[in-house]
Amino acid sequence: MMGKKKTLNNHLTPRSKVVMLLNRWHLADVFLILYDFTVVVGAYFLALWLRFDCHFSEIPENYLMAWLKFSPIYAVISVFVFWRLRLYQSIWRFASFIELEKVTISSLCLGLIHTVGISIFLERMPVTYYVFGIAIQFLLVLCIRFAYRFVLLERSKQARALQNAKASRVMLIGAGSAGQMILRDLRGAKEVNEQVCCIIDDNPNKWGRFIDGVPVVGGRDEILRAAEEYKIEKIFLAIPSASAAQRRDILDICKETSCELKNLPGVYEFVKGYVTAQSMKQVAVEDLLGRDPIKVNMEEIYEFIADKVILVTGGGGSIGSELCRQIARHNPKQLIVFDIYENNAHAIGLELKDKYPELNLEVLIGSVRDSKRINQVFEKYKPDIVYHAAAHKHVPLMEDSPCESIKNNTIGTYKTAYAALMNGCKRFVLISTDKAVNPTNIMGASKRLCEMVIQSFDRKIRDGETVELPFLHAHVQEEDGAQLDRMFSVEQPKTEFVAVRFGNVLGSNGSVVPRFKEQIAKGGPVTVTHPDIIRYFMTIPEAASLVLQAGTYANGGEIFVLDMGSPVKIDTLARNLIRLSGLRPDVDIKISYTGLRAGEKLYEEKLMSEEGLKTTPNQLIHIGCPIPFNVDEFLYQLQVLMTAAGDGRDDVIRDLVAQVVPTYHPAGENGSEDKGEAYMQQMKMVMENCKEEATALK
C-alpha cells in the first residue's frame, strides 16, 4: 500500500500537490497561527508600554531594541510550541479544561524561554516586563479560542429560546443524578423539542434551588400546582430507585393533570449509563399496580431445565410463548413448541431461531384433543418436562360453546397428562386460573376439572394404581386394545403433576387492557361491564416465571398460588388508561357500563374456602392444600363428560359439570338438572359395560 501511495504521489504535478495541501489546510488554523504570531509579539510590547505608564516616548531605546530583535524569534518558537501541543488541532467549539491546561502550560514555558533568552542574549528587562508579558500573552491566546465557543453558545441559546417557544413544556420528577442526566440530554439533543420548566423532588434541601437554571419547586404535593402554573404538557418520572408503591403514589397524582407521562424504566439503565431522553418510556398500566415484580430464583429454575427436553403446549399463546423465551435462554437439550394455531407457532419459532440459532427447536402443529397426535409427539421426543398452557380461555365464547370448553380444556389436559405419564415424563405443570375457584362460568369450571385431573394422576401414582387410569379416546378403533395392553405394561411411573393458578395477565391475548387501548384510540366509548368489578393482575413475564418456579418446587399434586397483591377495579384501570393517554375520563372519552356477561363474577378468588396455604422458599408463592375427592368416581364422571361433550349435549353439560365440581354454580341455568341426572344414569350403564370389556382385555 505504501509503495502504491508513493507511486501515486510521484505522478502528481507540483501544482496538484500544492492544491491538495491547501485543500487539507484549515483556514481557521491559518488564522490562529497569524493571530498567535501577532499576539506573542504584541503581548510583551504592551508589557513594556505598561511598565512606563503607557507613554511610548519614555521607553528606553535599549529596551525597545531588545524587544524588537527578540520578538520575531520568540514568535516562531511560540507557534512551534503551540503546534507541538496540538492547539491548532483542537475543535474549539468543544473547548474544555484540557485546552485550558494546554494554554496555561505553553504560556508558562514560553514565558520562561522569553525571560532566559532576552536576558542572556540581548538585555536584562524590568521584572514587570516578564510578569505582564506572560499574563497578557496567556489572556490573549486563551481569549480568542474560548471566545469562539462563547459565540456559538450564545447563538445556540438564542436558537434554543426560539425553539423553546414551540417546545413541549416538561416537568421533571427527580432531582437526583438520573434527573440531571435527563435534563442535560434534553438541552443538548437537537432532535428533542422539549423544555424542562420545573423540577419536583421530595428532598426539602433542594427546594428553592436551581439545577442548570431550572427551579426545584417542591415535593410531590406541588405537582398539581406546578403543572398549572408552568403550563406543563409532559411529566417525566426519573427516579429509577423508587419502589413500585412509591412510583404508583406519584403516578396517581400525575394522572390527575392530563399531562403525558413518561417513566425511566429502572435502576439498570442508570447503572449502565443509559439514562437519556430516549430511554424514557410511556408509563404502562402495570406501573400503577403498586406491586413489586415477582422475584424468582432464576438460577434454580435454569439449573432445573438445562439439558432437558421440554415441551410447551399452547406454545404460541401469550403465556406459552413467554415460557418458550425464558426457557430458550438457558440451554435446554431440546425445546418443543406445540400449538394448534399455526400463525402463532410460526411466529414464536422464527423469533427463537433468530435469537438463539444454536437452540435445538421443534415447532409442531397439533391439538391436545387428538389422542394419536399427542401420543406420537411424546413417543418420538420423550420430553422430560411439560408446561401445559394450551386452553380455551375466553369466558363469553366458552359460555356459548360449553362442550368445546370441556373437550379442549379438560379432556385435552387429561390426554396430555396421560401421554406424559405413559412416556416417562418427569414433571407436568398445568397452567390454571383463579377463575377455577368457585366458578360461575364453564371456562372456570373446566379449569377446575383440569386441576382435579392433575390431582387424580398424582393420587394414582402415589397409590401405585396407574393401571386404573382410563385411556380416553374420541373414537373406538381396533387398536384400542393394543393401547390398553401397552398401558397395563407400564410399571410404577413417577411423573410429578402440579398446577399453577394465577389471575389476569396484562397484555395477553384477550386481556382487557388491549381492548381498552383500542377503544381509546377510536375515541371511545370504553366499555366496562360493571363499576364495581375487580380483578387480580400480573405481567406476562411474571406469570411465566411463576410457572417455571413451580416446576422446581413440585413434589406432586400441589396447586401453586401467587400472592398478587391487592385486586384492581376494572373501572379504575380504564380511567387510568384514559388519563395516561392525556385524555379525561367522561369528558374526552366516555365510559359505558354494559352489565356483567354470562358467567362473569364481580371478583375472582385465589383459593377456595376449603383450601389452606403452605409456604414456599419464595414468599410470594404459596401452595394450596388439595381438596379431597373420590378419584375413582371422578374418573368415571370424566368419561361421562367426554361422551356428552363429544355428542354436543349443550343442554346437559353444565349440570354434569356441576355434579363433578360442587363449587360450580352456573348462572341462569334452570331446568337442566333432571336432564343431567338422567343422562348420568344412562351413561353409568354404558360405562359399566365398557369396564367389563376392559377387564376382559386385561
Q: Are 183 and 264 in contact (CB under 8 A)?
A: no
pLDDT tens-digit profile of 91-130?
A: 555 556 677 777 788 888 888 888 888 888 888 888 888 8
- Of 177-191, 291-305, 484-498, give the lowest mean pLDDT range: 484-498
- Residues 49 and 43: their CA atoms lie apart, in Å, by 10
Name the pLDDT band for 677 (thresholds 50, 70, 90): low
In the numeric block, the cell 501541543 is attached to 85
pLDDT mean over 273-291: 54
Q: How confident is the model at residue 352, as a pLDDT?
A: 95
pLDDT of residue 425: 93
- Mean of the pLDDT values across residues 189-201? 78
Cell triple for 335: 425445546
CATH second-level architecture of 298-510+536-565+606-624?
3-Layer(aba) Sandwich (3.40)
pLDDT, tens digit (0-9, with 9 covering 90-100), for 649-664: 888 899 999 999 988 9
Q: Would you say 75 and 35 are in contact if contact means Cβ atoms under 8 Å apart?
A: no
Which range in 187-201, 266-280, 454-468 is most confidently predicted, on average pLDDT? 454-468
Confidence (pLDDT) at 670? 47
Instruction: State the average pLDDT over residues 247-267.
Output: 75
Query: Residue 13: its pLDDT value, please?
Result: 57
The mean pLDDT value for 347-368 works out to 94
The percentage of residues in the chain with a pLDDT greater than 90, rounded to a whole number, is 23
What is the model's pLDDT at position 606? 59
Q: How far apart are CA 76 and CA 15, in angstroms?
A: 27
Output the pLDDT for position 612.
Answer: 66
Classify burial at 351, counting beta carbons within 10 Å of its beta carbon; exposed 0-12, middle 13-18, buried 19 or more: middle
d(CA 122, CA 194): 63
Compute the average pLDDT of residues 383-400.
92
Q: Quote the CA–CA distance of 483 and 474 in Å, as a whole number.
A: 14
Among 153-162, 178-187, 325-334, 443-452, the least confident range: 153-162
The amino acid present at 531, given as its one-letter code, is P
Q: Which of 119-128, 285-294, 421-430, 664-673 has the highest mean pLDDT?
A: 421-430
Distance CA 659, CA 50 (A): 111
C-alpha 154/C-alpha 145 separation (Å) is 15
Query: Does 262 or 338 have the greater pLDDT score?
Result: 338
Residue 307 vs residue 79, higher pLDDT? 307
Asked which of 144-158, 462-476, 527-541, 625-639 is least confident by mean pLDDT, the reply is 144-158
550-561 tens-digit pLDDT: 778 878 888 888
Question: Which pLDDT does position 272 carry in this prediction?
Answer: 40
Confidence of residue 23 (pLDDT cuts 50, 70, 90): very low
| 167-283 CATH | 3.40.50.720
DSSP state of 567: -
Pairing of strands 496-502, 427-433: parallel
What is the model's pLDDT at position 177?
Answer: 79
Q: Is the pLDDT of residue 362 over 90?
A: yes
What pairing do the DSSP bridges indicate for beta strands 281-282 and 260-263? antiparallel
Q: Is the pLDDT of residue 196 over 70?
A: yes
- Is the per-residue pLDDT at 269 higher than 80? no
Mean of per-residue pLDDT scores for the chain: 78
Residues 580-608 have a mean pLDDT of 76
Question: How many Å apart are CA 391 and CA 349, to the nearest integer?
Answer: 20
- Max Cα separation, the chain? 136
Cα-Cα-Cα-Cα dihedral sign, residues 67, 68, 69, 71: positive
Q: What is the mean pLDDT of residues 419-438?
A: 90
What per-residue confidence (pLDDT) applies to 21?
A: 45
Residue 401 has pLDDT above 90, yes or no: yes
User: Radius of gyration over alpha carbons of the chain, in Å?
Assistant: 39
C-alpha cell at 175: 432531582
Q: Say if residues 569 and 413 touch (Cβ distance below 8 Å).
A: no
- Across 298-355, the runs of DSSP E, i.e. the strands, are 309-313, 334-339
Determine contact, residues 546/560, Cβ cutoff 8 Å: yes
> Quick one: average pLDDT of 260-289?
54
Q: What cell was used for 387?
A: 408446561
98 to each of 83, 85, 102, how far by Cα in Å? 15, 11, 6
Q: In terms of pLDDT, which residue wins out, 132 or 427? A: 427
Q: Residue 25's pLDDT is what?
A: 46
Mean pLDDT of 371-383: 94
| Beta strand pairing call for 559-562 and 621-624 | antiparallel
Q: State how far the Cα of 391 lies from the Cα of 315, in Å rounded to an integer.
A: 11
CA–CA separation, 440 and 421 (whole Å) = 31
**Per-residue pLDDT tens over the stretch 316-356:** 998 899 999 999 988 899 999 999 999 999 999 999 999 99
Task: Encode pLDDT of 604-646 as tens digits.
Answer: 665 555 566 777 777 767 787 777 889 999 998 998 899 899 8
- The β-bridge partners of 234 are 170, 260
CB-CB contact of 186 with 170 (8 Å): yes
Q: Residue 567: what pLDDT?
A: 74
pLDDT surpasses 70 at 302: yes
pLDDT at 436 over 90: no
Looking at the predicted structure, is the pLDDT value of residue 3 above 50? Answer: no
The amino acid sitting at 679 is Y
Look at the chain and count its residues. 698
The rounded distance, in Å, linking the Cα atoms of 28 and 21 is: 15
Identify residue 159 by its one-letter amino acid code. A
End-to-end CA, the chain? 86
pLDDT of residue 318: 87
685: CB partners within 8 A, 6+ apart:
none
The larger pLDDT score, comparing residue 391 to residue 585, is at 391
Q: How confident is the model at residue 477 (pLDDT cuts 50, 70, 90)?
A: very low
